Every structure is written in structure tokens, then in C-alpha cells.
Amino acid sequence: MTVVDLGHTRWKRADFVVRSTAAERTVQIRHLSSRLVGSPDEFLDWLSPTPVGLLVVAGSALDRVKEFARLWDDSRQTPSIAITARDQIPVPVAIGHPDSVGFDRLCNALAVVRRKHAHHAAVIIASGTALVVDAVSPDGKFMGGAIAPGLAVGARALSELTERLPRIDVADWPEAPIYPGEKTVDAMRAGLWFGHRGAARELLHVAQRELAPHSVDVFLTGGGANVLMGLANDVQFVPELTLEGALWAALDHAGAAP
């Protein structure tokens, strides 16, 4: 089965193998890739060869999700499921305004509910356009969390809201920048990198404190996760977490999940 996440700036794709026994159903990642957004024809080309069994189309760009799911159904033999509504993601939401929670946060929570230890709470750290640190209760409820600017947003704000700071690229930083930074660009990189880690670490500590005395499983995902590696002990890095959650939602929606 293939899952695509259609974001506003990037598309992500994961190919999964779904296995079933009398006792349980499991999913295993086979392939994970991403690319910049493109045209409908580029979407179809990107998905070749045809996925086996089922295509799941999800993402924050809901109009495009619906459009591309219809495009796939009209041009291919295999079916698709479009995840476009809150009630398609079967995770309880223990906050006052559940409809305000984004698709990616709920999919992350759904995947974590199936991954975390029984009776443990969980914290999800997602580093992308925003830095999101969410909490899941021991009984599998999404509890909300915190949202802060991500690396790219911070870099853009420094450039656009000041007169002399340049625009810098924050993609694919292979290692921590030098501190102290002698050049302005080096100083900006150090501030963004270590500030991002510091924000994530502090939000994790706050979440763990609020979830005490429960044991807490910690999950890390997102395109900026490389900056947060080694943030704490026993953090599970799951780059396909959002896509995995969308797959579980589709299986449940199709009546296939246990």
C-alpha cells in the first residue's frame, strides 16, 4: 500500500507492507521519499509504477488531496482513499476544539497510539515548518501540545523582519554549526540550530512533567529532525510517522483495521 502526504511545499510518499494474523495487523515501511510540489501529471509520474492494493492520499492541502485522489481514480485501476475529514482519523481528542487540530498532528497521534507501550503516555516531537510537541495520554487520547516556529520560519523571519540579516538555507544541515559564529551567517546558523534544540528540549521537559507520574515514550519525526538527534535518551526516530498514521486511518475507514 502507498501513502502520499500532500503538503503546501513538499509531497511525501511511503510504501508499506501490511501483514495480518488472527491476533493482529502490522505495517512495515518499504520505501520513503519526498519531492517539491508539482503538477497533476508530475503527481501521477511520481507514483509510477502503480501501487499495489490501495493508494491513500492525505495532507494539509485538502483541496489538492481531493483533486488528486479523483485524478488517480480516473486514470488508474487501483482504488484510493482520501483522508479529508477529522472523523476519518480514529483517535480520541481530549481538547475543547477538536476540529482545530491539524491532520498531521492527529495522524502522528494515531501512529503513536499503536507504537507506544501499553499504559505509557507519549510525547511526539515533529520538526518541520513548525516545531510541534504534542502529548498522548496513557489511554490513547490526543491531549494537545505546543507549536513554535520551525527552522525555516525562524530563518525567514530574521531576514524579512530585520534590515541587514541575510536569508540563509536551513535544509540538510549535516552537523551542528560552529559556536561562537564569527560571521553573521555563522551566528545566525548557531542561533537557529541551538535555539531549535533548546526549544524542543524545554517543551519535552514540560510535557514529561505534566504527564508524570506516567512513564513517557518519546517519538521524533519531521524534515528537521536531524537537528534534534540525541536530544534525550530513548527517543524513537520515525520519519514515516505521519504517513503511517494516515495508513491506519485509511485501514480503519475501509473497515480493515482490527
The domain of 222 spans 99-240
Compute the C-alpha angle 199/127/257, nearest 5°: 130
pTM (two decimals): 0.89
Helices 103-115, 241-253: axis angle to 10 degrees equals: 90
Name every residue whose Cβ is closer than 8 Å to that of residue 156 and which is 6 or more positions away in sequence. 167
Q: Please report where in the chains the cell 507519549 appears, as a residue.
A: 122
Same domain, 13 and 111: no
Among the candidates 27, 61, 84, a domain finishes at: 84
Same domain, 139 and 184: yes
Same domain, 110 and 228: yes
Q: At residue 257, does pLDDT exceed 50? A: no
Same domain, 103 and 214: yes
Cα 226 to Cα 126: distance, rounded to the nearest angstrom: 11
Among 41, 87, 99, 104, the active-site one is 104
Q: Does any domain span residue 33?
A: yes
pLDDT tens across 153-211, in order? Answer: 998 999 999 988 999 888 767 678 888 988 998 899 899 999 999 999 999 999 999 99
Same domain, 76 and 106: no
For the chain, what is the domain count?
2
pLDDT tens across 132-160, in order? Answer: 999 999 999 999 999 999 988 998 999 99
Same domain, 143 and 221: yes
104 is annotated as an active-site residue: yes
Q: Does any domain span residue 255?
A: no
Same domain, 57 and 129: no
